[in-house]
Structure 1
């Protein structure tokens, strides 16, 4: 099945090499803006603002004011807005209502190009965020993160299918491997989605054992991979510039006869 290419500014997700996203993390405005400068210097394809690290994340007015400064810093680089909840490996927790409101404030600000909404925040929240985003020409990544294990392939595929059914532009799954077989499970699901899914997909197996999954997206079908520019936001992220070199080697050699 031919998948939709998702366009974010001039970026095309779902075609060519996997796109590199660099997360920006920090507790204070100063740390976050410094992190944004480092991210920009790494020349990523897009930047993720992990707002759950920010000490004022519960104050949407302060978040929007900071987003304006981030936009000025990052220029035309696409910005992904993410509040990663503590239940999925993030740094903070919000009620479902506050989580939805924060995402809607970011969407309405005009300073973000894409938002991440967690599948397990509930169908109603996901649908509301998707509707708000699409009415403001903002794309949606629906996500699920398991920092303990790798669920069975059937369960992973079912979660991706539900994300797609709820209107996500790009489904995302990140899992923790307990063995090399778990990494193969994740890659098998990714390959299956490449053949059957309507949208691009983002998948990764975390930590050192899962590193290969961050590198081989062009072969198996994961459209975005995450690299660090300074502090990483998840286990297994490697330096973004080193990551690009590896992806380019794979890209240059994968189509050779």
Structure 2
């Protein structure tokens, strides 16, 4: 399996890398949260730009992104506009979605850009091509807040992301009970062991919190923690997440 480089970070080797989201509304709030991160251990910062009050002003987005880049130093940035249909804060037209993600990639200030894989194949291919042309990484994503698909469907979605050329396929689902969590973990290990040639990210949201801790064993290469406000159900404080993952990592090394 090939790894993916985000700035100075190698994704797909060692323990899962920890992503922490910024969900502030204003530029001032975004930069204040980024400064707060200096007190915590994390690997990647995700800017959830769909929370941003000026998200539809591309010049302001790029200006804030540049300031965020300066504040975070060498910490990689994942830029994400999560659409309302996949649990985000706002709707956006396909053309505006493509234009925003392309502009961000071309700015050079984000290291990776999230692309929702079920936004229409033509749009997705254009977005992936534009982001890759700018030399940036594509995180292909899909979020199911209504339930947990079958194991075969989860694998199908991840393989579609891989086949379309995303660098890191990602899926998040919602469990209705322990069996759904087991389904997600079983799909993860089968994808990682039998189909994936690149890092993948999987998680069961809400009460599937165990999946945010045990990715190293099942094959998920990244996970999400929180400093204050969460961006999805089930995210736990980053310091607690790191402690639990370190315990698991040491156990797996024995």
TM-score by structure 2 length?
0.98
Q: What is residue 249 of structure 1 aligned with on the other side?
A: 247
What is the deviation of 1:32? 1.1
Return the alpha-carbon distance in structure 2 between the equivalents of residues 57 and 242 of structure 1: 32
Moved over 4 A (4+): none
Q: 4, 7, 20: which one pairs with 1:22?
A: 20
120-129 vs 181-190, greater mean Cα deviation: 120-129
RMSD: 0.8
The gaps in structure 2 that reach 5 residues or longer are none
Q: How many residues align?
A: 253
Deviations 1:160-182 (A, max 9, x none): 11101111001000000001000
Structure 1 match to 2:153 = 155
Q: Which of 110, 117, 124 lines up with 1:119 in the alignment?
A: 117
Looking at structure 1, the residues matched to 35 and 80 of structure 2 have their Cα atoms a distance apart, in angstroms, of 18
**Structure 2 residue aligned with 1:49:** 47
Q: 2:77 aligns with which of 76, 79, 82?
A: 79
Residue 200 (structure 1) aligns with: 199
Secondary structure of 1:121 counterpart: coil
User: What's the counterpart of residue 66 of structure 1?
Assistant: 64
Give 1:36 shift.
1.4
Deviations along 1:46-104, one digit per CA (max 9) or x if unpaired, are: 10000000011111111001000000100000000000000000001100110010100
The aligned residue for residue 106 of structure 2 is 108
Contact 1:146–1:174, Cα closer than 8 Å, also in 2: yes
Residues of 1 paired with 2:96 and 2:159: CA distance? 26
Equivalent residue, structure 1, for 2:221: 223
- Residue 39 (structure 1) shift: 2.8
* 1:255, distance to aligned residue in structure 2 (A): 2.2
- Secondary structure at the residue paired with 1:150? coil
Match of 1:138 among 136, 139, 145: 136
Which consecutive unaligned segments of at least 5 residues does structure 1 have?
Answer: none
Confirm or deny: 8 A CA contact 1:83 1:90 kept in the other structure.
Answer: yes
CA–CA separation in structure 2 for the residues paired with 1:252 and 1:89: 35
Q: Does 1:12 align with 2:20?
A: no
Hey, what does 1:234 align to over in structure 2?
232
